[in-house]
Structure 1
């Protein structure tokens, strides 16, 4: 499957942690238009890709689906990916018992304060603002890193690791 993000071939998507050793497999990549309805398509893409891995437990697949929805929604709402003609990409990496999902966006909007995804405080009554807190709480680790033409936000789910959200390069 060949996908593109801003006209770049999928093989040029950088900054995704690669599983090393026996059984390491990059499952799939796909690009999407930067519009809200395509967040649902990104969820379906992750779920259908992970369905090819029958050894994965349902709760791990459900968590990956939930978290990709949060990160892809952020890409559409808060980055240039959500501007007219914008795109975002999703990559799913499976290794025995664990999954890493990365969302590639087109970088911060010029008017974005700070421009870097971060877990912030939120009100319990707020209708939004919990996405990265959820990623931190559910994933075994997550990180964000710049890439040419944008950035990547990636998270890993490993049932053997504590879900403390420990992240590198936040």
Structure 2
């Protein structure tokens, strides 16, 4: 993991090695980032939140962290990491999260019978208004499918517009009981 965080070493004029080091994820401290979107009263909640730089490299870091925090079997975590990746990429493409110094906050919660993930951006770029919404699919365009994937594969999803200009997109995936009589699909491994 440490080797993955060091991008490259360059020789300076003095012959000393200079390294470009990627920042490590940090714990999100805002109470709103560490609380789930609740659809029922008095749930049992286990969760965590982290903030990472808005760089495509951190999609991999986010997926690894989600796997660890959710502690779900591989066949159940895959849809969660796929949907989170789509939302992460939307943040860095459409908001200040993708600008130099931009950040994305990822929150994950284990709730009764389901896993909830919330991805929060750094707010719109100067002079822009960004509102996550389903747009008509254009078969000629390679982009614009992320929220459709979330709407199709998530059990529930929605958006939250924060007073500070940030936007969160959250989704839940219901946990499924694995049928022991069903043969194992090797693609699930």
- Normalising by the residue count of structure 1, what TM-score does the alignment of the two structures yield? 0.77
User: What do you get for the CA RMSD once the two structures are aligned?
Assistant: 2.4
CA distance 1:57–1:125, shift in 2 (3 Å): farther
1:64 aligns with 2:84: no
Task: Point out where structure 2 has 5 or more consecutive residues left out of the alignment.
Answer: 1-24, 177-189
Which residue of 1 is the match for residue 126 of structure 2?
110
User: Which 5+ residue runs of structure 1 have no aligned equivalent?
Assistant: 161-170
Once the two structures are overlaid, the 10-residue window that deviates more, 139-148 or 127-136, is: 139-148
Matched, 1:146 2:170: no
Contact 2:33 2:49 in 1 (8 A): no
1:134 to 149, 158, 164: 149
Using CA pairs below 8 Å that are at least 6 residues apart, which structure has the higher relative contact order? Answer: 1
Residue of structure 2 equivalent to 1:85: 101
Q: State the alpha-carbon separation in 2 of the partners of residues 39 and 79 from structure 1.
A: 16
Aligned counterpart in structure 2 of residue 26 of structure 1, from 46, 52, 55: 46
Partner residue of 1:41 out of 46, 58, 61? 61
Corresponding residue for residue 18 of structure 2 = none
Q: Which has the larger radius of gyration?
A: 2
SS at match of 1:99: strand
